[in-house]
Amino acid sequence: MRALYLGLAAAFSVVALALKLFDVSNLATVISLLVAGVFLVMGLKITADQRPPQSVELDDDRRATIRAMLDRGDEGAAVRQVQLWFRNVSPEEARRAVLELR
C-alpha cells in the first residue's frame, strides 16, 4: 500500500509538471499538486507506522566507540551516535543507554 501511495504521489507530481509545461490552467496544476501531497502524506504515514520501536543493545565494538566518546567528554555526540545506529530510538532512550556505560 505504501508503494501505491508513493507511486501515485509521484504520478500526480509529474502530471502537475506536464500541465504546467503545456500551459494548462493553473487551477488544474494546483489541484494535481494537492492530490500528490495527500498521497505523499499517506505513504509516509504508513512508512512511519510500520517501524517497530528498537531496543538499544550495544555490542562490544559499539560500547568501545561510545566509551571513547565519553572519555573525550563528548556525551552529546555519543547520544547522537546511538540514534544513528538505532534509528527508531528516542533521545531519552539513547541517553539512558549512554549513561549506563559510564
Look at residue 53 in the predicted model and tell me its pLDDT: 64
Q: Is the pLDDT of residue 48 over 90?
A: no
Q: Is the pLDDT of residue 49 over 80?
A: no
Average pLDDT over every residue of 51-57: 74
Residues 92 and 67 occupy one common structural domain: yes
Which of 12, 30, 50 corresponds to the end of one domain? 50
Q: Is residue 55 part of a domain?
A: no
Query: How many structural domains does the chain have?
Result: 2
Cβ-based neighbour number of residue 35 at 10 Å: 17
Q: Is the pLDDT of residue 8 over 70?
A: yes
Report the percent of the chain where pLDDT is more than 70.
95
Average pLDDT over every residue of 38-43: 97
**Cβ atoms of residues 53 and 59 within 8 Å:** no
Residues 7 and 45 occupy one common structural domain: yes
Residue 30 domain boundaries? 2-50
Residues 95 and 68 occupy one common structural domain: yes
* Alpha carbons 43 and 1: distance in angstroms, whole number: 8
Q: Is the pLDDT of residue 85 over 80?
A: yes
Residues 6 and 46 occupy one common structural domain: yes
